[in-house]
Structure 1
Amino acid sequence: MFDLHRLRLLRELKHRGTLAAVAAALSYAPSSVSQQLSQLEAEVGVPLLERVGRRVRLTDQAEILVGHTEAVLERLDRAEAEIATSLADLTGLTGLTGLTGTLRIASFQTAALALIPGALGLLRDRHPHLRVHLSQLEPESALPGLQARDFDLVLAEEYPGDPGPRPADLEEEGLLDDRIRLASPDAAERSTSTDPLAPLRQLAGHPWVMEPEGTAARRWAVALCRDAGFEPDVRFETSDLLLHLRLVEQRHAAAFLPDLVWGGGRPTVPLHPLPQGRGTRRVFTVVRRGRSGHPAVRAARSALARTATNTLN
């Protein structure tokens, strides 16, 4: 029988890419990781790693092992969830309250600002002994971290016309539809045109602030500007949407701002609607398959849903 600990190291290598990254994530010495994987190769009887420059690549046989390891870990996740559920039921019968343990959440900025504080309040009131650890990360980084078991729950986003990959080992649950609107540094001239892109065209020659290249938000924003007939003059790049807002308020740039930026408050800059079907991003939670039944995950999703309803209403 293969050693599960060594199989998990092989799986970590697939998700993290280098022996040094595996060692750093697990607080091991790189030489120890390499030794454990060499022992696994001896157990299996075939090479599991191939050198590619300074990196290593998994062989076909290693990929087979990782696939089975993923299935074993999913079953262990389900077992942990069932045990936690049985303990939660027991505490209810004995008059005790709340969940225990640690729940690790990763969220992108606007969801973290608008939703996380309220959800934490609900969790604290209901489950005072549940420890929640929050990391602010964009989905491009958070979702691989979820697969690598760095997090238990991720808040992610999806822009119109830009569906992200849906790995088979992850499960999504919708949270809210977040409207995005054109934020102009000045009140745009009123147009009698029925063209929904008319307000956007008025800002064709203006400086813009957008999220960095390679992000879903940037691809969506640039495509929308091109549909309006111009290439945006992107002078400011940042994933900090509060900085987007400040640049618009100080009349330095135009931007696309989601309603979550306001956190239920009143907008501070002129806003214009975007074409139907093009101006709403989907916000959702993601967990590893097998973890959705864990009572801490269920409690967090419920708290986030209640906070989302209160924020947008």
Structure 2
Amino acid sequence: MFDLHRLRLLRELKHRGTLAAVAAALSYAPSSVSQQLSQLEAEVGVPLLEPVGRRVRLTEQAEILVAHTEAVLERLERAEADIAASLTELTGTLRIASFQTAALTLVPTMLGLLRDQHPNLRLHVTHMEPEQALPALQARDFDLVLAEEYPGNPNPRPAELEHEDLLDDPLHLAVPRPADSPDTDGPDTDGPDTDGPDTDGPDAGGPMAALRSLANHPWVMEPEGTPARHWAMTLCRDAGFEPDVRFETTDLLLHQRLVEQEHAAAFLPDLVWNGQPPTVTLRQLPRDRRSRRIFTVVRRGRGRHPAVLACRDALHRAITLRPRRTSAKRGG
């Protein structure tokens, strides 16, 4: 029978990429990791690693072993969940990763609800963008991740991860508010999927015309390579222009401030305002581009763990408790 500890080291190597990264994550010496994997190769009787420059990659046989290891670890996750469910008190540590706007608006309320209901459950929260947090979840650095998905830009769905939807967060085009006008667009309204004029906005040509009017305006966007940047660039190109991106950051509060100070236009989600009146002018986007999906992700087999169930329930309650954004009324 193969040694489970060594199989987990092989799995770690698949997810972390290098022997040094595996050693750092598990507080081992790299030589110890290498020795353990050599012993696993001897147990299996075939090569498991092959050199690629200064790195190594898994052989076909190693990939087969990792797939079976994932199945074993899923069963162990279920066993851990069943043991926790058999206890009368929820204890231990739940490690959570969250992107910025959810961390600012949903997570604090969630923490308060869990503190009151499960005072002996320890929560460890890390601010991390989904593109880093989801691989870390697979590598077992976290137990639950809050993630986002932009319209028309679906995330990969690894078989070893489970998703559960939280909410749809409306997205808006944000531009500096004119000094003599406090107006913002009202809430999005349902209706036919058209690019006609907004019923409550001042842009007679509709959402795409509002976008095109900013073709020569400076923009702030998230960095290249992020799903949010890909979505934003695609939207601008569909409107017929290449945006002049002068500011790049994942900090949406900085996006907001740059729009407020008339340095840039931006795309901002409702969660940025957390129920407060917007401080910039908001315009509607095309109907099929108006919201991002926010969801939680856990490793397969862990979704039944009482701590995960309690956390997800608290997040859903936090959504119902959060204040709803109200737009400013038009002046007479």
**For this structure pair, what is the TM-score category when the shorter chain's length is used for normalisation?**
over 0.9
Q: Deviations over 1:19-40 (max 9, x none)?
A: 0000000000000000000011
SS of the equivalent of 2:289 reads coil
Output aligned runs, 1:2-81, within 5 Å: 2-81=2-81
Pair 1:180 & 2:180 matched? no
Q: Which residue among 109, 125, 129 is the counterpart of 1:118?
A: 109
Q: Deviations over 1:141-182 (max 9, x none)?
A: 100011111100000111010011101111100000000101
Equivalent in 204, 217, 228 of residue 228 of structure 2: 217
Match of 2:119, SS state, is coil
| Deviation for aligned residue 1:192 | 5.8
Instruction: In structure 2, list runs of 5 or more residues that go unmatched.
Output: 184-200, 325-332
Tell me the amino acid that sits aligned with residue 122 of structure 1.
Answer: L
Deviation at 1:196? Answer: 2.2
1:69 positional shift: 0.4
* 1:166 aligned onto 2:187: no
SS at match of 1:296: helix
Name 1:232's counterpart in structure 2.
243
Give the 5 Å matches for 1:242-281: 242-281=253-292
The answer to whether the Cα contact below 8 Å between 2:6 and 2:36 also exists between their aligned partners in 1 is yes
Q: Contact 2:203 / 2:209 at 8 angstroms: preserved in 1?
A: no
Instruction: Give CA deviations for 1:171-216 in whole Å, capped at 9, x if unaligned.
Output: 1000000001011023499756243212222211110000000111
Q: Which runs of 5 or more structure 1 residues have no equivalent in the other structure?
A: 92-97
* TM-score, structure 1 normalization: 0.95
Partner of 1:136: 127
Task: Tell me the secondary structure at the aligned position of residue 99 of structure 1.
Answer: coil
Tell me which of 108, 133, 141 is aligned to 2:99: 108
Task: Output the CA distance in 2 between the equivalents of 1:40 and 1:247.
Answer: 55
Deviation at 1:72, TM superposition (A): 0.3
- Tell me the amino acid that sits aligned with residue 104 of structure 1: R
Cα-to-partner distance string for 1:253-272 (whole Å, 9 max, x where unaligned): 11000001111222111111
The equivalent residue for 1:95 is none
Q: 2:302 aligned with 1:295, yes or no? A: no
Equivalent position to 1:310, from 315, 321, 327: 321
Could you say what secondary structure the match of 1:277 adopts?
A: helix
Cα pair distance change 1:155/1:302, threshold 3 Å? same
- 2:207–2:283: 8 Å Cα contact kept in structure 1? no
Number of corresponding residues: 304
TM (norm. structure 2) is 0.89
Contact 1:154 1:286 in 2 (8 A): yes
The answer to whether the 8 A contact 2:177-2:279 is kept is: no
Task: Name the structure with the higher helix share.
Answer: 1
**CA–CA separation in structure 2 for the residues paired with 1:184 and 1:4:** 56
Counterpart-to-counterpart distance in 2, 1:307 and 1:276? 27
**Quick one: distance in 2 between partners of 1:223 and 1:47?**
44
Once the two structures are superposed, residues 78-116 of structure 1 have per-residue CA deviations (whole angstroms, 9 ceiling, x without a partner) of: 0000110011xxx2xxxxxx4110000001111111110
CA contact (8 A) 1:191 1:198 kept: no
**DSSP 3-state at the match of 1:286:** strand
